[in-house]
């Protein structure tokens, strides 16, 4: 079993790039498709604490019910925002990666390199062709 977990949305390019970077380091992470298997409130609270972000800071606006729920309004408490994420997991920005070196919301995708225990095993380009890692496994 892997010591790396990714809260993943396969429909998200950033999330797919992060998963590919993890695999490029020789690891096969535990993949949690959080839209199918949302984290419990307790898990979400721990993830946010480990990442060092508030519920508001992890909210995703694009492609979510953020606007129609009026979540931009500062009246919402963190508890209320956690409730909203619990009801609509798509509101959680992604991907969140947990490794022995830390927990991080990996946007942009190459920020995952900061918390991967193993180096990259070769060159890596994002889906859009942007080079992230060179043939020697070094960050570009």
The mean pLDDT value of the chain amounts to: 96
Active-site residue among 6, 12, 22, 113? 12
Report pTM. Answer: 0.95
Answer whether residue 1 shows pLDDT above 70: no
CA distance 102 to 13: 22
**Look-up of token digits 């999330």:** 15
Residue 106 known to be catalytic: no
Answer whether residue 2 shows pLDDT above 90: no
* Domains of the chain with CATH codes: 5-133 (3.40.30.10)
Question: What confidence tens digit (pLDDT) does each residue in 39-60 have?
Answer: 999 999 999 999 999 999 999 9
Question: What confidence tens digit (pLDDT) does each residue in 97-136 have?
Answer: 999 999 999 999 999 999 999 999 999 999 999 999 999 9
DSSP letters spanning 95-131: -EEEETTEEEE-SSGGGGGGG-SS---S-EE-TTS-E
């Amino acid at each position: 079993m892997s010591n790396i977990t990714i809260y993943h949305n396969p429909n998200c390019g950033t999330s797919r790039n992060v998963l590919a970077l993890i695999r490029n380091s020789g690891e096969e992470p535990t993949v949690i498709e959080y839209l199918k298997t949302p984290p419990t409130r307790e898990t979400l609270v721990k993830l946010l604490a480990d990442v060092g972000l508030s519920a508001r800071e992890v909210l995703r606006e694009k492609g979510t019910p953020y606007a129609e729920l009026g979540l931009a309004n500062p009246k919402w408490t963190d508890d209320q925002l956690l409730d909203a994420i619990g009801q609509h997991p798509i509101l959680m920005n992604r991907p969140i990666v947990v490794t022995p070196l830390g927990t991080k919301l990996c946007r942009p995708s190459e920020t995952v390199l900061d918390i991967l225990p193993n180096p990259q095993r070769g060159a890596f380009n994002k889906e859009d062709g942007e080079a992230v890692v060179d043939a020697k496994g070094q960050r570009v």
